[in-house]
Amino acid sequence: MHKYWGAILVLVFLTSCREEEPNPEEIAIKTIEEPVILKQYGFNLNDFSVLQDTVKSGDSFGELMLKNKVDYPKIYKVSEQFKDTFDVRKIVVGKPYVILKSKDTSETAQIFIYENDRINYTVIDMRDSVIAYKKRKEVKYVEREVSGIIETSLSEAILKQGIDYNVTNNLANVYAWTIDFSRLQKNDKFKVIYKEKYINDTIYAGAEPIDAAYFEHNGTPLYAFSYEADSLKNITDYFDDKANNLRRAFLRMPVEYGRLSSRYNLKRRIAYYGYKVRPHKGTDYAASVGTPILATADGTVTESTRRGGNGRYVKIRHNGTYSTQYLHMRKQNVRRGDFVRQGDVIGWVGMTGNTGGPHVCYRFWKNGRQVDPLREKLPEAEPIAETIKVKYLEHIIPIKEQLDCIEFFESLNEELLTLN
């Protein structure tokens, strides 16, 4: 029996022309088969021969199609006419794909489906004239409340509840300027409201950014509410219960996981150069090759290139006063003219240019002069506009009540002690 067919059992009574009760032994069971329609990516998979796989090292779109009997003109058309929808040069090793082939003896590939991520996918339909389009799987958003009392670390308090680790990162980012997470105290407390994504109601697809949070640090309560303060730019920030912006204009450093390895120093002497004064106008953060480098503030990319001892680098103009530069990248992730938001990945740590090890040299300009960012009194982010402040304060009333009603999750050991 085909694996996509189900069975419906129907009792058929065999009777004679005489009106009498049927003999149980004469009851036969007949199976009537009906097709079970298996739909995925908007197609009835029963209509095709299905090949599911992941991109392997050395695979290319052209080779995959040739192996599955697609003629070269169609492959060429996809690669040349649909670059904006599907760039055949950028298929990534490990990404899943599905090929729907004809059910005849030729088994020619008719549809190619490439999963960009767990939710978004691209369809290349080659049955008639070639078409390409992007679609999303149906996603269900489920609101979740999380709370905890810190015993050792924030990550432990969250992970022991089986919560996505990204929730820890998101919470740390929300309070990046108001709480030093390396100095959390035992019995600090937190509450979080966020949404989880599910595909087909059951397949977990990650956590959304935090909607609202409460953090009690050293006995001081700190609220945070996500709010779109600039609808024209589609910019969302976090504000407290008094409408103060929790963000600062600049992040503390351009990498999440790195250590300060060399400070800004105009009198630095280096043995390699005979202990001559070689001013170091950057601030170095050591990190592993491939560590994401983040834009420390909103701005426009003015340079993304490679030059001399700087290696590969990106420079960003934030406003008429401030600019920043990020050196020795392995690779850039932005181009000149791009607008970036604070926290966007603009490249990855490398060792290009003059460098003795993997790090990012972070340079900071104020009024056209390089300065030490660790000694600068950096500006706060723009406050919420007075024209929408009242609307914001009304918006957070029910959310604050929801946060206040969340009880703190305690560890199993503490709960057992309470019961005993």
Q: Is residue 411 part of a domain?
A: yes
Task: Spell 284-310 as b/e; 16+ CB within 10 A means b.
Answer: bbbbeeebbbbbbbbbebeebeeeeeb
Quick one: pLDDT at residue 347?
Answer: 96
Tell me, what's the pLDDT at 10? 37
Q: Is the pLDDT of residue 155 over 90?
A: no
CA 121 to chain centre: 15
More confident residue, 258 or 315: 315
Q: Given this model, what pLDDT does residue 169 score? A: 86
Please tell me whether residues 75 and 91 are part of one structural domain. yes
**Which tens digit of pLDDT belongs to each residue from 63-88?**
999 999 999 999 999 999 999 999 99
Please spell the DSSP secondary structure of 333-389, one letter per residue: ---TT-EE-TT-EEEEEB--SS-SSSEEEEEEEETTEEE-TTTS-PPBPPPPPHHHH
Residue 185: the pLDDT is 85
Residue 412 has pLDDT above 60, yes or no: no
Same domain as 154, residue 240: yes
Domain that residue 25 falls in: 5-39
Selection from 193, 197, 209, 206 nearest residue 147 by Cα: 193
What does pTM read for this prediction? 0.61
Check whether residue 243 and residue 386 sit in a common domain: yes
Residue 253 resides in a domain: no
Q: Are residues 145 and 206 in the same domain?
A: yes
* Residue 401 counted as domain residue: yes
pLDDT in tens, 207-257: 999 999 999 998 899 999 999 877 556 678 899 999 988 887 788 789 987
- What is the model's pLDDT at position 269? 53
Residue ending a domain, choose from 74, 109, 136: 136
Element (H, E) at 265: none
Q: Are 171 and 192 in contact (CB under 8 A)?
A: yes
Instruction: Find the range with the poorest average confidence among 55-69, 104-118, 173-187.
Output: 173-187
Position with higher pLDDT, 274 vs 321? 321
- Residue 113 in any domain: the answer is yes
pLDDT at position 8? 39
What's the CATH number where 53 sits?
Answer: 3.10.450.350
Contact 129, 82 (CB under 8 A): no
* CB 340 within 8 Å of CB 292: no
Res 235: pLDDT = 72
Q: Which of 82, 96, 90 is nearest to 131 (CA)?
A: 82
Per-residue pLDDT at 192 exceeds 90: yes
Residues 306 and 292 in one domain: yes
Are 116 and 66 within one domain? Answer: yes
Q: Are residues 319 and 354 in the same domain?
A: yes
- The chain-wide mean pLDDT, for the chain, equals 84
Residues 285 and 330 in one domain: yes
Query: pLDDT at position 420, please?
Result: 46
Residue 347 C-beta-side C-alpha neighbours within 13 Å: 32
The pLDDT score that the predictor gives to residue 19 is 52
d(CA 185, CA 76): 61
Give me the residue label for tokens 């953060």: 285
Name which of 413, 403, 417 is nearest 160 in CA terms.
Answer: 413
Q: Which of 197, 198, 223, 193 is nearest to 210 (CA)?
A: 193
Residue bearing the bigger pLDDT, 355 or 232? 355
Do 163 and 125 lie in a common domain? no
Specify the number of domains making up the chain.
Answer: 4
**Calpha distance 319→323 (Å, rounded):** 7
Other C-beta atoms closer than 10 Å to the C-beta of 314 total 26
Asked if the model's pLDDT at residue 304 lies above 90, the reply is: yes
Does any domain span residue 254?
Answer: no
Rounded distance, CA 223 to CA 193, Å?
12
Query: Is the pLDDT confidence value at 29 over 70?
Result: no
Q: What pairs with residue 212 in β-bridges?
A: 193, 225
Q: Are 239 and 248 in contact (CB under 8 A)?
A: no
Q: Count the residues in the chain.
A: 420
Phi/psi of residue 294, nearest 5 degrees: -110, 145
Give yes or no for residue 272 having a pLDDT over 60: no
- Token digits of residue 381: 């982010």
What pLDDT is stored for residue 249 in this prediction? 79
User: Shortest CA distance to 379 belongs to which of 247, 284, 253?
Assistant: 247
312: pLDDT strictly greater than 50: yes
| Judgement on whether residues 60 and 18 belong to the same structural domain of the protein | no
35 shares its domain with 46: no
Confidence of residue 121 (pLDDT cuts 50, 70, 90): very high
pLDDT, residue 232, reads: 57
Which percentage of the chain shows pLDDT scores above 70? 84
Contact 298, 340 (CB under 8 A): yes
